[in-house]
Chains A and B, each alone.
Chain A
Amino acid sequence: MSDHNAPELNPTPGERFTKFLKRKDVLETLGWAVFYTTGFVILGGKFYTKWMPTMMSTDMRAIERLMVIFTWISAPVCGFVLSMATYTFRHGHRGDTPPEDGPATRTNRLGISLFGVMSSLLALVAILYGLIELNSSAEAATKDAPNAMVVEVTGSQWVWSFNYPAQGVTSNELMLPINKPVIFKIISEDVNHSFWPVQLGVKADANRYQTTTVQTKPNKLGAFDVKCAELCGLYHAYMETNGAVVTTADFNNWVTAQGGHTA
């Protein structure tokens, strides 16, 4: 990391930096760094937008955004690590005898300090982003809570069932009206389960005798999957059911068909 070839006796820091940048190995490494960073920014972001499922709530949208932004934050880290690895690998030594000794550099105060500051800053950005995101979703939930619909979710070994107390309906499928905040009150009849309506971007464990609560607001019509995300025994894999976000009218029709009463 240090410029060990400097011939001048007292170069200024600026001169040393320029000289450092002109080194062949530094240039090549920088090239690789740009290559990898750009690659990760483009492909890393695409990976999540391509593979993650339809976003059917603001929570899910926030999650996908977070995944992409975190990928961008970590792209320079990838660039740094992979560029140095690639350069040294390309210029490595092959053969049955050990290579010549390299420079006996044991430390580099500037390099270590810069690295420490940069990595701490990146961690700080990630932490702050996460905390702000956490706070804003909690804030939105609090605001929505008064006009939310309650759904009681019960996990039994290996089937979900749903109770709509205000509508007087029980079902094995999860029907939700669009744009209506919903509070899931989750409980287990036996072992631990984890209630996961995938496309809604929320999740909470179902515990015996401990109601867990999670809130979201579906904002896109369509079917979604309800899964169990906590190993719960023999048929854990099959502890899945259908969910759907429907229009308010369709929801009311469904409630009536199930023998319930609409508000």
Chain B
Amino acid sequence: MTTLDNRVSSRPIPNPSKSLITKLNAGTGLVVGIIFALGTYYLLNNNSSDDATVNFQHYNRTLLASMLMWSVGFLVGIGAFIGPWRWLIGKDLTAEEQLYLAGDGQGIKRYFKYCTDHKVVGIQYLVGVITMLAVGGTMAMMIRTNLAMPGGHFITASVYNSLVGLHGITMIIAMIIVATGPFGNFIMPIMIGAADMAFPRLNALSWWVLFTAIPVLCSAWFLGGIPTGWTAYAPLSIQAGPGMNAFLATIIIFAFSTAVAGANITATVVAMRAKGMSWNRVPIFVIGATISVALAVPAFPTFMLAMIQTALDRTFMTSFFDANFGGSGWLYAHLFWIMGHPEVYVILIPGVAILMEIVPVFVRKPLFSYTSAIVGFAGIAGLSVLVWAHHMYMSGWMPMLNGPFMVTTEMISIPTGLIFLVILGTLWNGKPWLKMPMLCVYAFLWNMLVGGITGLYLSDVPADNYLHGSMYVTAHFHYTLMGSALTGAVAGLVYWFPKMTGRMFNERSSYVAFWFIQLGFQVLYLGMFTAGAEGQPRRVVDYADTFHVSNMVSTIGAYGVGIGFIVLLWGVVHSWRHGIIAPMNPWGAKTLEWTVPYPVPLVNFDTPPVVTSDPYGYGKAVK
């Protein structure tokens, strides 16, 4: 427990109220960040050359450097480096200062500070994720509105392409942190009986680094947008305008945040479990979140690397991906998908794990075959690093390897099957309590079934000859990411809302939102599957008249989903402010987070808990 280390310094303890720490917050971060960014910009920006190529590269350098310096400046301004600085001069933070950093007794202010309390970080992530999903969702509505009618009359091509790319990357970032951010930070340490995360300052760092990526990503709009989609394939990304720098900088910053968060969560679970919580007693959500971040730790550096190489190609005339000078676009595709395919499981696994956590509570039965769940997660994670080139069947990179990659890809259906087995086995012979989180479990079963089976077609090389790059792909991965992973996260929100806010989630709004979202979702993607089967390419601003009906159906469904999410957002705001005060354990669950009161004390537990069994001891003994 680093934060509350009680080591007594021999020197007199300075009063933290006079310390610099107390003066810094997001506002000072903002100021210093902007100073750093503008300073860098004005220092570097001089497009004096006659050569357009030199100017183009120099402008890219200037923008990239300014964006990265904004991030650094913000972190300096919010005080992220005070700890390391103290070490450098041979001191350490005093106990009082650490207590101050943990946000002790600072009320709402601590949410705007470099606060090391994992519960504060969890709430910061929650608000951040909701904001990102709202922004990404709004962009989705724009896309669907444009596609309601053929002709592309609503938005022009360049704005549309930017929408597609920014919707993609916003949602991908939001989905990567949607479960491990809020719940992994707020709930998970309590679930394993820890007082905080293993590295509380890194925890705050991971959030605030991520935060600095948000304005950078938004700046892409004002720099001409990005034409590349979220995959940012080279050489299109090398050709792209200044907005591309915002994308590159976002990923570089985000990958850093993920690495920090991943290392922290993994270390916490490995080292800080309560006494008696052997590996076979760890709640399944913790297992899922850990496998997810452990998978992200090796995956994201390749993405970061690909972005750095793209940036170098754009700024210093290297040619990693530029075939005109001996590079290869395939290299980019490899680096991207070596991250890209594990990444979808980084998103999916924690979402599924939340649902697995929920099922036993609402069915009042033990989790069926805990071992299968772990084998399923581990199998998926293991195989997911061996399948990336199924995104490149049609690239011409190496047709001979299509067969082997098809085999590994289709093998993923076996561990995925185990996930169904665990949930169905828990449901069977039980009487599920049909509250909103439980409804999400049912929605997941259907959505994951559709997503999984359509994935089977896509994994098959001959079928992919037709389906690759079509709307069918778009519909497929929305079923897995949105229909499955996001449904899991929404279930988690309603389920853990009482512990995170002290209030129950407004029930009626949760049901209204659920049905709007899920029914709208089916209409939306049924239309999109049809458009794909008919042969409509994805990421198009306009389409042939023959696809009109399926696109119109899709847009109608999308509006349903949109209304559902607005209702859900209302539910969040309303319940947070006016919801019924929640009892300590409203669902009668047996995991440790329900044994602590709201507000959760700074150190979580008055006395460290001792665990004697796994948390699934529900049910009557079998005769």
Contact = CB atoms under 8 A, between A and B. Distances in A.
Indicate whether A and B are direct neighbours in the complex (CB within 8 Å): yes
Interface of A: 1-2, 4-5, 25, 47-48, 51-53, 59-60, 62-63, 66-67, 70-71, 74, 77-78, 80-82, 84-85, 88-89, 91-95, 98-108, 111-112, 115-116, 119-120, 122-123, 126-127, 129-131, 133-134, 137, 186, 190-192, 194, 196, 198-199, 201-205, 207-210, 212-213, 225, 227-238, 240
B236 interface: yes
Count chain B CB atoms within 10 A of each CB in A63, A98, A201 and give the residue with the most: A98
Given A63-B465, A85-B424, A236 B161 contact: yes
Contact of A137 (B433, B462, B623): B462
Contacts of B433: 92-93, 95, 98-99
B403 A103 contact: no
Interface string B365-381: 11111111000000000
B35 interface: no
Given A105-B368, A234-B227, A85 B466 contact: no
B461 A103 contact: no
B397 to A, nearest CB: 8
A234 B158 contact: yes
B465 A81 contact: no
Identify which of B434, B543, B588 gathers the most chain A CB atoms within 10 Å of its CB: B434
Contacts of B621: 104
A120 B424 CA distance: 18
Contacts of A2: 622
Nearest to B235: A191
A71 B407 CA distance: 18
A111 B425 CA distance: 9
Given A92-B431, A102-B618, A230-B469, A205 B544 contact: no
Contact of B469 (A81, A91, A186, A229): A229
A62 B537 CA distance: 20
B407 A127 contact: yes
B601 interface: no
B427 interface: yes
A92 B432 contact: yes
A191 B324 CA distance: 11
Contact of A126 (B157, B231, B460): B460
A237 B143 CA distance: 14
Interface in B391-417: 394-396, 402-403, 406-407, 410-411, 413-414, 417
Given A225-B544, A229-B537, A231-B228, A99 B368 contact: no
A14 B461 CA distance: 43
B406 A134 contact: yes
A182 to B, nearest CB: 15
Interface in B198-246: 227-229, 231, 233, 235-236, 239
A70 B457 contact: yes
Contacts of A101: 364-365, 618-620
Given A207-B395, A237-B540, 5 more contacts: A74-B456, A82-B445, A126-B413, A191-B233, A207-B396
10 contacts: A4-B623, A59-B465, A66-B460, A67-B457, A81-B420, A92-B434, A102-B363, A112-B369, A123-B410, A208-B323
B348 to A, nearest CB: 17
A201 B620 CA distance: 57
Contacts of B364: 98-102
Interface of B: 152, 157-158, 161, 164, 227-229, 231, 233, 235-236, 239, 323-324, 328-330, 362-372, 394-396, 402-403, 406-407, 410-411, 413-414, 417-418, 420-421, 424-425, 427-434, 438, 442, 445-446, 449, 453, 456-457, 459-463, 465-466, 468-470, 530, 533-535, 537-544, 587-588, 616-623
A89 B369 contact: no
Contacts of A225: 535, 544
Contacts of A47: 530, 533
B530 A123 contact: no
Return the 8 tightest CB-CB contacts between A and B, nearest first. A104-B619, A229-B469, A212-B396, A237-B540, A102-B430, A119-B417, A208-B323, A102-B365
A126 B539 contact: no
A150 B229 CA distance: 33
A237 B542 contact: yes
Contacts of B366: 104-106
A102 B362 CA distance: 10
A134 B402 contact: yes
A214 to B, nearest CB: 8
A130 B460 contact: yes
Contacts of A62: 462
Given A92-B434, A115-B421, A126-B460, A203 B365 contact: no
Given A119-B413, A123-B414, A98 B462 contact: no
A25 B617 CA distance: 24
A208 B319 CA distance: 13
A225 B547 CA distance: 13
B622 A105 contact: yes
Nearest to A233: B227
Contacts of B233: 191-192, 230-231
A103 B429 CA distance: 7
A4 to B, nearest CB: 5
A203 B544 contact: no
Nearest to A51: B533
Given A89-B434, A107-B369, A126-B456, A133 B462 contact: yes
A88 B430 contact: yes
